[in-house]
Amino acid sequence: MLRNNFNVNESCENGETALMVASAGGYVDVVNALLSHGANIKEHNVIGHTPLMKAACAGHVEVAKVLLERGAEINTRSNEYNENALSVASYKGHIDMVRFLLQAGADHLNFALSAASTGGQVEVAQLLLDSGAQVNSSTYPLPSPLECSINNSNVEVTTLLIQAGGNINGAITNGNTYLMMAAGKGDVRMVNLLLESDADVDAKMENGDTALMIACQKGHTVAASVLLSYGANLEHKTKDNRTPLMEASRAGHLTTVNLLIEKGARK
């Protein structure tokens, strides 16, 4: 087809071209042939992914080398999630690709660290930190690495980020903390990790809610028990006089209500 005036840059409905498909598949010879016949190395599909991003997402280092040698732009961002080749490789955990892209001059390391944290990629996160990524950064549209790892219940990545200096008591929105996020999910392993790392057990949201209040609202009895074992205030009252026992009762969480009463809750 390449010898019969076939349009090498023809795209399908989602904007994928032959070069993108070959790059995603790791077909180095096909990639070279398409480029030799005029394939557009900088083309984007409908979500803004380039051939290089497709290769990076699939971990095909040899294809990425060819594309960069032939003029691909290493730091181009997508139009949907603001991704680049480094961040998609980081999310997928392709550490050889991440290492190659860093050596080739990829930037936006902070965004890539959040992507790796979302994907639970411990080795990649460590490499990015060693390469200069900032542990307490946040880059639109992804939140901070800690928020990404905690939201996705990635205990190993969260441990790494805390060891690297992650601020576990930083507020997210409206005074919401990482501990509150974990408590609201009933993520007992994460709650334990954060408390062991000196998270503020009685930190308050703007509305007065604490991690214990949130766990009780959701009926996460085990998480509530862990919080109480670390000294959470059983009799905490919000500005409108709500208590953990009231919240558990209002939501009909009998097991949680029984726990609170056993621990001495009176109101």
Write out pLDDT tens, residues 119-132: 999 999 999 999 99
pLDDT of residue 61: 99
Rounded mean pLDDT, 140-155: 94
The highest-level CATH class for domain 82-166 is mainly alpha
Rounded mean pLDDT, 134-157: 94
pLDDT of residue 41: 97
Give whole-number Cα distances, 267 to 145, 216, 236, 242, 251, in Å. 38, 14, 10, 9, 15
Task: Report the percent of the chain where pLDDT is more than 90.
Answer: 88
Spatial separation of the C-alpha atoms in residues 218 and 186, rounded to whole Å: 8
Write out pLDDT tens, residues 204-215: 999 999 999 999
The highest-level CATH class for domain 1-73 is mainly alpha
The highest-level CATH class for domain 168-267 is mainly alpha
Residue 30 has pLDDT above 80, yes or no: yes
Rounded mean pLDDT, 153-158: 98
- 4 pLDDT band, cuts 50/70/90, is low
Alpha-helical segments (H) within the chain: 18-25, 28-36, 51-58, 61-69, 85-92, 95-103, 109-119, 122-130, 145-151, 155-163, 178-185, 188-196, 211-218, 221-229, 244-250, 254-262
- 3 pLDDT band, cuts 50/70/90, is low
Rounded mean pLDDT, 188-217: 97
Residue 5 has pLDDT above 70, yes or no: no
Write out pLDDT tens, residues 98-121: 999 999 999 999 999 999 999 999
- 35 pLDDT band, cuts 50/70/90, is very high
DSSP-based three-state secondary structure for 204: coil
Spatial separation of the C-alpha atoms in residues 123 and 132, rounded to whole Å: 15
Mean pLDDT of the chain: 95
Task: Of 18-22, 148-152, 167-171, give the lowest mean pLDDT range.
Answer: 167-171
Rounded mean pLDDT, 247-258: 98
Whether the domain at 82-166 and the domain at 168-267 fall into the same CATH topology? yes
How is the chain split into domains, by residue range?
A: 1-73, 82-166, 168-267
**Dihedral (CA of 153, 180, 176, 255) sign:** positive
- 145 pLDDT band, cuts 50/70/90, is very high
